[in-house]
Amino acid sequence: MKTHVPLKSAVTLAFIALASMMGPSGHAQVVPGSYMLQNRGLVNGFLAWENGQVGEGITPQNLEPGAWQIEALDNGFFRLRKGGLPGHYLHTETGPLGCSPVPDTYWSAHWAIEAVPGTGAFRLRNRYRPDQYLHMEPGRLACGPLSPEAPSAQWDLLPAFRLKVLYVLPRGEKAKPKAAEALRTIMAIVQTHYLEQLGVTFEMDEDFFATTRTRLAPSQAVDWDTNVSLILGFEESAYQSRGNLVYSVLEGTEGAAGGSWNIVKMTGGFWETAYQTYQTEPHRLNQVVHAWSHELGHAFGLLHTEAATRPCLEEKGLFLPPLPSCIMQKQEDLGAVYNYPFIEVEKKLLLDRAFSQEYRDCAPLRSLRPFPTTHLFRTRIQPYRNGPLRTISIVEFWNAGGVHGTLSLQPDGQWLERDEAGKERYRFQEVSRSQDIIQLFDNTRGVYLDINLVDMQVWYRREAGGNKSPLYEIIWTKG
């Protein structure tokens, strides 16, 4: 039952009740995530919000007003959350379009997203005012009664403000056969690290991986400006027009990695180490990817903690205590990347817009790119399943209590559970594999585990067929 229906008209109330019973007619199978919404009836017409006003139009120099996160509701409707502004949703609460915090139950912020047959476009109908569509007729953004066939009521949903990987092959270099799988696995680990540290993380694009070749030698391709040019030559629309993060991995190169302007340049040495670990000792992969999280921190604007951030803050009167080895300044080896924190002031530079503005000189590498919360908004990871049920031989897991580890199939047929440092915890016998579930049993403790490859969780039971409880979330699998 709805909890908020302030419209007075009995006729309108009846219409709303009928629409509620019927659900969102013709609603589309939209994948929740980060998008820009471009209107089909107006050139350069985008759904945008800036300076407290819902409007239209963005510029290449200012993409952030056009960032929206589409969130699915259980009833088939969706909400549109403003990218970069947690808790702000597009709504029709007072009649005109608004974007502000509203309770989850308010129908004025619920939208049916309906596919326009044969076009690839969508219509957005308000649940609270079910005869009204989001439109740009005549050239201005509004929500009102309009023929759903009108182009101004049709929208393209453009995936945006996500992370993409560009695998660069300089002259003479060959692609690693499992590059895409290894890189998707690495990014699942980095995504988990950010979520655990910040409470939010980035979103990986569904079209995550691309390869490009260049006639440049490795020694030329590794140059920062050259790498940026390669990205703009191959992923210009993704980077310039969609606000995506681009993580470039340069095969066969040497030298320092780098990050700035929502771009990461990962060089061959780091990549070679990570790839070989993925191939031969995948349970150790989280121990060799510190640099991958570190350089993404640079891409979001952060500097080295001790060498640059501390002096910058102290010049402004903000003094930091002695600090541990952390993600933006590694001083000692702490093993798994999950053990390296962002310090509190770095979290504020990434997540607190007012603080970041006050101390903007201490996070200069972002330049004019969108504020990090435009990208850092997910509260769940995107687990990566690689391989069919019959071949799965290792999973990495974690839970909100900070427990990390792996379960891996051993040559003797047993499954070994290790902690994040690779130390043995328990051993299990495999009982069965069916319906995307691998069932394990520890005879010494009388414990059953279900590795569920549909919901990507590890479940715990005390007896076969008994009640189960969620134990871990799966980060990635390998077959």
CATH of the domain at 413: 2.40.128
Domain shared by 372 and 434, yes or no: no
More confident residue, 21 or 369: 369
Among residues 380, 386, 381, 382, which one has the least CA distance to residue 477? 386
The region, left, alpha or beta by phi > 0 then psi within -120 to 50, assigned to residue 280 is: alpha
Contacts of 128 (CB under 8 A, 6+ apart): 5, 7, 16, 91, 92, 93, 106, 107, 108, 109, 110
Tokens coding 466? 């008994």
Instruction: Report the alpha-carbon distance of residue 298 to residue 260 in Å, rounded.
Output: 5
Residue 11 C-alpha from the chain's centroid? 43
pLDDT over 70 percentage in the chain: 94
H/E segment holding residue 42: none
Taking phi over 0 as left and psi of -120 to 50 as alpha, with beta for the rest, 465 belongs to: left
Give me the pLDDT at residue 57, please: 67
In a domain, 3, yes or no: no
Quick check: bond before 138 cis, omega within 30? yes
Residue 318 falls inside a structural domain: yes
pLDDT mean over 214-242? 94
At residue 216, the 3 state secondary structure works out as coil
Q: Let me know whether 238 and 151 are in one domain.
A: no
Q: Is the pLDDT of residue 309 over 60?
A: yes
Same domain, 150 and 167: no
Residue 228's domain comprises 163-378
CATH code (residue 232):
3.40.390
pLDDT, tens only, 313-338: 999 999 999 999 999 999 999 999 99
pLDDT digits (tens, 9 = 90+) for 234-250: 888 899 999 999 999 99
Q: Among 159, 183, 218, give the residue marking a domain's end.
A: 159
**6 is a domain residue:** no
**Structural domain contains residue 294:** yes
Do 333 and 200 belong to one domain?
Answer: yes
Query: Is the pLDDT at 22 greater than 60, yes or no?
Result: no
Say if residue 389 is in the same domain as residue 373. no
Please check whether residues 80 and 67 belong to one and the same domain: yes
Residue 263 located in a structural domain: yes
Q: Please indicate whether residue 236 or residue 422 has the higher confidence score (pLDDT).
A: 422
Structure-derived torsion over alpha carbons of residues 416, 420, 424, 426, reported in degrees to the nearest 10: -60
Mean pLDDT of 265-283: 98
Q: Kindly report the average pLDDT of the chain as a whole number.
A: 92
Between 58 and 85, the more confident residue is 85
* Domain end point (choices 159, 192, 218): 159
Among candidate residues 261, 273, 276, the one with its CA nearest the CA of residue 229: 261
Residues 49 and 151 in one domain: yes
**Distances, alpha carbon 21 to alpha carbons 11, 25, 111, 287, in Å:** 16, 10, 15, 52
Enumerate the β-bridge partners of residue 144: 133
Is the pLDDT confidence value at 2 over 80?
Answer: no
Residue 11 lies in a domain: no
Same domain? 66 vs 109: yes
Q: Three-state DSSP class for 208?
A: strand
Tell me, what's the pLDDT at 149? 83
CB atoms within 10 A of CB 18: 10
CA atoms within 13 A of residue 243's CA, in its CB half-sphere: 33
Per the model's pLDDT, the better-predicted residue between 364 and 429 turns out to be 429
Q: Are residues 169 and 236 in the same domain?
A: yes
Domain end call among 378, 402, 430: 378
225 or 5: whose pLDDT is higher? 225
pLDDT for the residue numbered 1? 26
Assess contact for 261 and 232: CB atoms under 8 A: no
13 in any annotated domain: no
Tens digit of each residue's pLDDT (9 = 90 or more) over 66-115: 999 999 998 899 999 999 888 999 999 999 999 999 999 999 999 999 99
Here the CATH number for the domain that contains residue 150 is: 2.80.10.50
- Confidence at residue 28, expressed as pLDDT on a 0 to 100 scale: 64
The number of domains in the chain is: 3
pLDDT above 70 for 291: yes
Backbone angles phi, psi at 108, to 5 degrees: -65, -20
Distances from the Cα of 378 to the Cα of 17, 69, 185, 198, angstroms:
33, 9, 18, 10
Of the listed ranges 140-149, 185-194, 395-404, 427-436, the one predicted with least confidence? 140-149
Within a domain: 15: no
CA distance 442 to 429: 6
**Dihedral over Cα of 50, 53, 58, 64: its sign:** positive
pLDDT at residue 14, rounded to an integer: 37
Q: Specify whether 170 is located in the same domain as 308.
A: yes
State the amino acid at position 191 in one-letter form. Q
Same domain, 315 and 203: yes
Based on the domain organization, do 251 and 328 belong to the same domain? yes
Rounded CA separation 91/370 (Å) = 23
Give the model's pLDDT for residue 170: 98
